[in-house]
Amino acid sequence: MKKIQMVDLQSQYQKIKEEVDSAVVNVMGSAAFVNGPEVKEFTTELQDYLGAKHVIPCGNGTDALQIALMALGLKEGDEVITADFTFAATVEVIHLLKLKAVLVDVDYDTFTIDTEKLKAAITPNTKAIIPVHLFGQCANMEEVLKIAKEHNLYVVEDDAQAIGANYTFSDGTVKKSGTMGDIGCTSFFPSKNLGCYGDGGAIFTNSDELEYKIRGIVNHGMYKRYYHDEIGVNSRLDSVQAAILRIKLRKLNEYSAARNSAAEYYNKAFANHPNMLTPVKAAYTDHVFHQYTLRILNGKRNELQAFLAEKEIPAMIYYPVALRKQKAYFQESNDVDFVNTDKLLDQVISLPMHTELDEEQLKYITDSVLEFMNK
Ligand SMILES: *Cc1c(COP(=O)(O)O)cnc(C)c1O
């Protein structure tokens, strides 16, 4: 059996090696390493794929979030609401910009922001909401957008984990994750669903005004060469990464389908187990399974992880600590009513999930999990 990994980028690369190698060599030959034709082509192709009016590439997903918040022109102390159960970057950038991070609980089944608690957290100082499309499915965007409209708030989607997922609104309209709010942000970190071979990120928007601002901010606040209208950053996607991303974007739907097949295999094996809950997909969204995350109900999640490690099956706890409890982000005022997050911290375990899992590996993983859980 092939060695099991959380994410098997080597096997995936072997299948596209010829195309990738020749694309990389071409960039070397062109010497257009930054903002070359590959970046422009990729940007257009991603716009078409997403149905987004504008895609602005940048250095990584964390930059994307920071630049998005900078583009909104928020002032020190303005409040930004996001979920307590997410990767730290979402909250880190809020603090970096001296805005106030207001963290709220997530829904127990979907792991995405609890919209009732979101509503309750709104104050006159609230300016923006960052719904995180965690583990590969969209947050309840219809509700988030409704709340945002009622209270005149910006919506910045953290789409680092769900690129390619479709969201269906109650009127039947279908949109891609990251294109529903004012701004969408994604990451092309190697292990993400659309990953490059280094760092990369992108910002999406349908607003011409925001696009103009964002394009300036990613490039030192420069709208005319050597005229700096505001303080920006230096954040760009290089041409080698863009060339690789063009190849992988063409395969993204195929990759999402492969992840869904693996998830189906897991779901079937674990269905109706008294001590395990399989991932719950909300009706309004596709799932692109950035992670396949079980909830273990018998209190033996850590033992299960150790048991699997002995069998050389990696499994990860995303995330072990609530962001509100992290030393860097601790705020007394945030520490209320996080029943779901707190339960999830003790229950979640993510199994290997990637595009190259074969049946032999899936059988070995599911047999091993069940061996432990049925002991
Ligand atoms: C990966 C990730 C980010 C940050 O992306 P980087 O490219 O690593 O900076 C932000 N938010 C979420 C939810 C992520 O998973």
Predicted pLDDT of residue 265: 98
pTM metric for this prediction: 0.97
Predicted pLDDT of residue 199: 98
Any atom of ligand 1 within 6 Å of the Cβ of 187:
yes
Any atom of ligand 1 within 6 Å of the Cβ of 196:
no
Ligand 1, atom 5: nearest CA belongs to which residue? Answer: 61
Sign of the CA dihedral with 331 first, then 332, 336, and 338 last: positive
Contact 178, 206 (CB under 8 A): no
Would you tell me the crossing angle of helices 239-249 and 9-30 to the nearest 10 degrees? 130
Dist. CA 134 → ligand 1 center (Å): 10
Predicted pLDDT of residue 309: 98
**Domain of 160: which CATH number?**
3.40.640.10
Domain that holds residue 365: 252-373
Any atom of ligand 1 within 6 Å of the Cβ of 90:
yes
Residues 208, 259 within the same domain: no
Residues 151, 286 within the same domain: no
Is residue 3 in a domain? no
Task: Count how many domains the chain has.
Answer: 2
Residues 134, 266 within the same domain: no
Predicted pLDDT of residue 331: 73
Residue 45 buriedness (CB in 10 A; 0-12 / 13-18 / 19+): middle
Any atom of ligand 1 within 6 Å of the Cβ of 159:
no
Dist. CA 344 → ligand 1 center (Å): 20
Q: Which of 234, 249, 264 is the last residue of a domain?
A: 249
Contact 72, 103 (CB under 8 A): no
Is residue 26 in a domain? yes
Dist. CA 188 → ligand 1 center (Å): 9
Q: Alpha-carbon dihedral of residues 32, 37, 39, 42, nearest 10 degrees?
A: -150
Give me the phi and psi of 287, to 5 degrees please.
-120, 130
Q: Which of 208, 224, 249 is the last residue of a domain?
A: 249
Predicted pLDDT of residue 336: 73
Helix (H, G, I), strand (E, B), or coil: what is residue 32?
coil
Residues 147, 22 within the same domain: yes
Contact 91, 341 (CB under 8 A): no
Is residue 2 in a domain? no
**Domain of 344: which CATH number?**
3.90.1150.10
Residue by residue, pLDDT tens for the chain (375 residues) are 999 999 999 999 999 999 999 999 999 999 999 989 999 999 999 999 999 999 999 999 999 999 999 999 999 999 999 999 999 999 999 999 999 999 999 999 999 999 999 999 999 999 999 999 999 999 999 999 999 999 999 999 999 999 999 999 999 999 999 999 999 999 999 999 999 999 999 999 999 999 999 999 999 999 999 999 999 999 999 999 999 999 999 999 999 999 999 999 999 999 999 999 999 999 999 999 999 999 999 999 999 999 999 999 999 999 999 999 999 988 766 667 899 999 999 999 999 999 999 999 999 999 999 999 999
CA atoms within 13 A on the CB side of 268: 8
Q: Render 237-274 in DSSP notation, one character per residue.
A: -BHHHHHHHHHHHTTHHHHHHHHHHHHHHHHHHHTT-T
Is residue 364 in a domain? yes
Residue 152 buriedness (CB in 10 A; 0-12 / 13-18 / 19+): exposed
Dist. CA 189 → ligand 1 center (Å): 8
Cα separation, 44 vs 168, whole angstroms: 24
Cα separation, 297 vs 295, whole angstroms: 6
- Secondary structure element (H or E) that encloses residue 62, with its range: helix 61-71
In this structure, what token pair is assigned to residue 288?
Answer: 């692109």
Residues 107, 192 within the same domain: yes
Minimal CA–CA distance to 146: which of 179, 185, 180, 172? 180
Is residue 201 in a domain? yes
Minimal CA–CA distance to 134: which of 170, 154, 108? 108
